[in-house]
Structure 1
Amino acid sequence: MSTPTGFMEYTRQIPADRDPLERIKDWEEFHKHMSEEELRTQGARCMDCGTPYCHTGIELTGGTSGCPVNNLIPEWNNLIYRGLWREALDRLHKTNNFPEFTGSVCPAPCEGSCTVGLIGKPVTIKTIEQSIIDKGFSEGWVTPQPPEKRTGKKVAVVGSGPAGLAAAAQLNKAGHLVTVYERADRIGGLLTYGIPTMKLNKGVVQRRVDLLAAEGVQFITNTEIGKDISSEQLVNDYDAVVLCGGATRPRQFKIDGSELKGIHYAMDYLNTTIKSYLDSNLEDGQYIDAKDKHVIVIGGGDTGTDCVATALRHGCASVTQFGTHAKAPLERDEVNNPWPQFPNVYTLDYAQEEAKALYGRDPREFSIMTTKFIGEENGHVTALETVQIERIVDETGRKIYQPIPGTEREFKADLVLIAIGFDGAEQTIPDQLSLETDRWSNVKAKYGVYKTNIDKVFTAGDMRRGQSLVVWAINEGREAAREVDKYLMGSSMLP
């Protein structure tokens, strides 16, 4: 323990953010940084619990509690307090291949299960994690570490998101010859074309990709398995295949008027903006533009929030975000949402903070459902109709949403973005290989085993578990690599 009374002596501190009205003028990251002395003080707040729930990584009542990659958080908190940054980096890399990704975009379930949070504010874990890897790169401590010898075994990884990159990194570390296939023009999967640049700088992604390439991982872009290369050929050409294609099928939203122009799925909106920004700083105009438009985002999750932030940077006339969920309480419900569950409390994410600063209010509408889209004669959306809803339990015990009579409203809309989630993996590869899938179309493979019903073929990440967190994708990519290594070599030294 850094200091036995640190959690009583020091208050929680997090980095300041750039002013919301200033940061919406650009696409740069919005977080500022803390000094080493401030970080040392935050590390001193860690209690080094006898049972540190912060790195348990379990799912409770549908939510994640603790760190899915089982980061040894109390250990590197103590090392930071003692000023041992290089040792803290080594400890962090033992469990997490990409702390620069999780430090940027993870919702920090570790902090939600921090014991200090039982009596006050949790330890500033996520910021410390990010600071460790940032210092590691700035000091030149993070360098290519190619394996000392090769096994001669060839492994193909399909998809270069966090699960695919984690699997590739671990399999390469074991000495296998790893090739990663990506259908987009850049490596990174959702890290590149799903998360806006203000949340995750794409130079940070490319920096890690370059490092993996220097360690011997081969990357092939603009190549779609199942189309450019058949799935059967891939299986025949490699000793093992790891499918990490994600859960990329958008959930359909079919109501009256959904065929109108100006209604788009969120990922199409985000992807085109990110690509245009990376290609030309948005000068090529090859993106869905929200400038001067009244924007409605249907979906209250992270993807919807990213749409709000992107629309603000486009210069929208207004933006409103719809969620079917009720407004969360200001304090944790100790009965229905007890520690160490992730706290379901009312907060302003970065995009809502920006919209409130610009328009004077939280842009979210809670417990609301869209019932109809309205359009002009030319077939373009102009408005939508909604109704307030309440969650009830029906006679069969199911929890359903029920409209509240008399709460109908109409919202002006020039651009509507659908961000209601995903319906599992695309089916081209599963169909070609006759892979078993579950009712959500995810590829079937037992957690911890990752082997499909087809010999040599494994799967991990969102393609196996459905839409989830980046940190779960890294967890599954690492574990799948271990299982592939055991399959190829009979045993494995990978964690």
Structure 2
Amino acid sequence: MGKPTGFMEYKRELPADRPPLERIKDWKEFHLHLPEEAQRNQGARCMDCGIPFCHTGILLNGMASGCPINNLIPEWNDLIYKGLWKEAIARLHRTNNFPEFTGRVCPAPCEGSCTVGINEPQVTIKNNECTIIDRAFSEGWVIPQPPVSRTGKKVAVVGSGPSGLACAAQLNKAGHLVTVFERADRVGGLMMYGIPNMKLDKAVIDRRIDIMKAEGIEFVTGTEIGKDYPAEKLLADYDSVVLCGGATKPRDLPIEGRELKGVHFAMEFLHANTKSLLDSAHADGNYINANGKDVIVIGGGDTGTDCVGTSIRHGCKSVTQLEIMPSPPSERQSDNPWPQWPKVYKMDYGQEEAAALYGADPRQYCITTKKFVGDGNGHVKEIHTVKIEWKKDGAGRFVPVEIPGTEKVMSAGLVLLAMGFLGPEDTVLKPLGVEQDARSNVKAAYGSFETNIKGVFAAGDMRRGQSLVVWAINEGRAAARECDKYLMGSTVLP
């Protein structure tokens, strides 16, 4: 715990973000840090709650409650309060290989189950975590730690997102020779090209990859298993394989006009933008430019928010975000009690920027798109929408019902589909003969992570479906433990 009375003495305080109208002019991260004394006070707010729900990591009502990687949150909050920063990073690294990633992009289910949050603003757990790791890097405390000895066993990890990186890091600690395959030209999976720089600067990823390379992990980029490298060859070249390819098949919107130019999947837009930014600061023009266009983002999640923020930085004429679900309430409802994840209205960075620039939250709720209409030259010009309400059908399930007379036509020069992902691609799965479940995810039980093919394991979104970065790290670490046990007969990995 922190200071016994800290939660009564200090108010929740977060560092001020860079002002929206300033930060939209560049691609730099917009989160800042508090002065050390103020940050220590935030650590002091962690109370002696008896049962720290913040690191339980369970599913309640279908959502994460507490930290899925079981971070020892009260312990490092206490160390922050005492100014023991080096000890704090040691405790943080015990459970989390990459706090610099989670401290930036995790939605912080830990804070949703913080005991202080029952009747007061919760502890700033996510910001505390990010501050610990950023200080550790600045002080030079994060250094390569290669294993003392090698087992001689070779493991291939397919995919370099958070699950693949966590798995590789743990297997390397166990002494195995680990090769990570990534089909893109840079390591990081969707963290590299699916999350914009202003939310996760790519230098943050690169510095961690440099450490992993120095620890002996080999990264092979620009190589897609099943195309550039036969999937079957993995089984011959390696003693074990862990599939961490993610759930990258996007959900489509098969309505009239879908074939029109200017209608793109969100990841097409975000991937091309970041790659062009990193390659040439956008000088090469190899990206989908929102400049001067009326942008419609269909989907209300984090990816949709990233599309909003990116479009604004391009200089779009306007941006509107459509969500088929109702607007969340301003406070917890009776059917969403603590310690469940609070389903309440909030504005993320993209909405804040749109509101500052255009005067209002860009999101519109309970709206579905009926068709796209072109300009006569094959390019999208407008979308036709209608409002819906959610009603129970004969089976008691809530279904969307159109409201007559609410039809609307909206101008659209660029439409971005950000409606989530359906599951993994089949490039590597089919040739290996890996079984898939009814949702097309890899069929491998949580806990064992082993597929129907001996020695082949699966972790992260490829196994569980689209999820959080902390669940990906959880699964990558756990799959590494099971893989190590398979290779050696026992394991010392946590």
TM-score (norm 2): 0.99
* Mapped pair 1:492 → 2:491: yes
**What is aligned with 1:25?**
25
Instruction: Write the mapping of 1:319-468 to structure 2, written as runs, cut at 5 A.
Output: 319-333=319-333, 335-468=334-467
Distance in 1, matches of 2:167 and 2:49, equals: 31
Q: Which runs of 4+ in 1 moved over 2 A?
A: none
Using the TM superposition, give the Cα deviation of residue 400 of structure 1 relative to its aligned residue in structure 2, in angstroms: 1.2
2:43 counterpart residue number: 43
Aligned to 1:291: 291
SS in 1 for 2:250: coil
Q: Which residue does 1:188 correspond to in 2?
A: 188
Where does residue 120 of structure 1 map in the other structure? 120
Distance of 2:217 and 2:362 partners within structure 1: 44
Q: Secondary structure at the match of 2:324?
A: coil
Name the aligned partner's letter for residue 199 of structure 1: K
Cα offset, 1:434, TM superposition: 1.3
Q: Distance in 2 between matches of 1:278 and 1:475?
A: 29
* Whole-angstrom distance in 2 between the partners of 1:127 and 1:2: 16
Corresponding residue of 1:234? 234
Q: Does 1:157 align with 2:157?
A: yes
How many angstroms apart in 1 are the aligned matches of 2:107 and 2:427? Answer: 32
Query: Aligned partners of 2:297 and 2:62: how far apart in 1?
Result: 24
Aligned residue type for 1:319: V
Cα drift, residue 48 of structure 1: 3.0
Query: How far, CA to CA, are the matches of 1:466 and 1:410 in structure 2?
Result: 34
**Which residue does the alignment assign to 2:99?**
99
In the alignment, structure 1 segments of 5+ residues that lack a partner are: none
Q: CA RMSD in A?
A: 0.7
Task: Give the aligned residue type for 1:439.
Answer: A
Looking at structure 2, the residues matched to 126 and 229 of structure 1 have their Cα atoms a distance apart, in angstroms, of 39
Q: Show CA shifts across 1:153-174 (max 9, x none).
A: 0000000000000000000000
| 1:347 positional shift | 0.7
Q: Deviations over 1:308-330 (max 9, x none)?
A: 00000000000000011111111
**Distance in 1 separating the partners of 2:398 and 2:462:** 27
Task: Indicate the residue corresponding to 1:77 in structure 2.
Answer: 77
Deviations 1:72-96 (A, max 9, x none): 0000000110111000000000000
String of CA shifts for 1:64-120, please: whole Å, max 9, x gaps.
Answer: 110000000000000110111000000000000000000000000000000000011
Secondary structure class of the residue paired with 1:463: helix
Report the Cα distance in structure 1 between the residues aligned to 2:76 and 2:389, rounded to whole angstroms.
45
Percent identity between the aligned chains? 67
Conserved 8 A contact 2:2-2:74: no
How far apart, in 2, do the equivalents of 1:310 and 1:386 lie? 24
Which residue in the other structure is 2:482 paired with? 483
CA distance in 1, matches of 2:181, 2:48: 42
User: What amino acid does structure 2 have at the position aligned with 1:419?
Assistant: A
Counterpart secondary structure, 2:341: coil
C-alpha deviation, 1:399, in angstroms:
2.1
Q: How far apart are the structure 2 equivalents of 1:22 and 1:137?
A: 27
Secondary structure at 1:170's aligned position in 2?
Answer: helix
Q: 2: distance between equivalents of 1:201 and 1:48?
A: 35
* 1:92 alignment partner AA: L
Aligned to 1:133: 133
| Structure 1 Cα separation of the partners of residues 216 and 17 of structure 2 | 37
2:307 pairs with 1:307 = yes
Q: Secondary structure at the match of 1:374?
A: strand
Q: CA deviation at 1:377?
A: 1.2
Q: Give the AA of the match of 1:390.
A: E
How many angstroms apart in 1 are the aligned matches of 2:32 and 2:243?
A: 37
| CA positional deviation for 1:10 | 0.8
Alpha-carbon distance between aligned partners in 2 of 1:285 and 1:472, rounded to the nearest angstrom: 35
Q: What is the identity, as a one-letter code, of the residue corresponding to 1:418?
A: L
**What SS does structure 1 have at the residue aligned with 2:388?**
strand
Deviation, structure 1 residue 59: 1.0
- Secondary structure of the corresponding residue to residue 94 of structure 1: helix
* Contact 2:387–2:403 under 8 Å retained in 1: yes
Q: Is the 8 A contact 2:459 2:475 kept in 1?
A: yes
Q: CA deviation at 1:122?
A: 0.2
- Offset, 1:2: 2.3
Structure 2, unpaired ranges of 5+: none
CA distance in 1, matches of 2:2, 2:468: 30
Q: CA deviation at 1:229?
A: 1.1
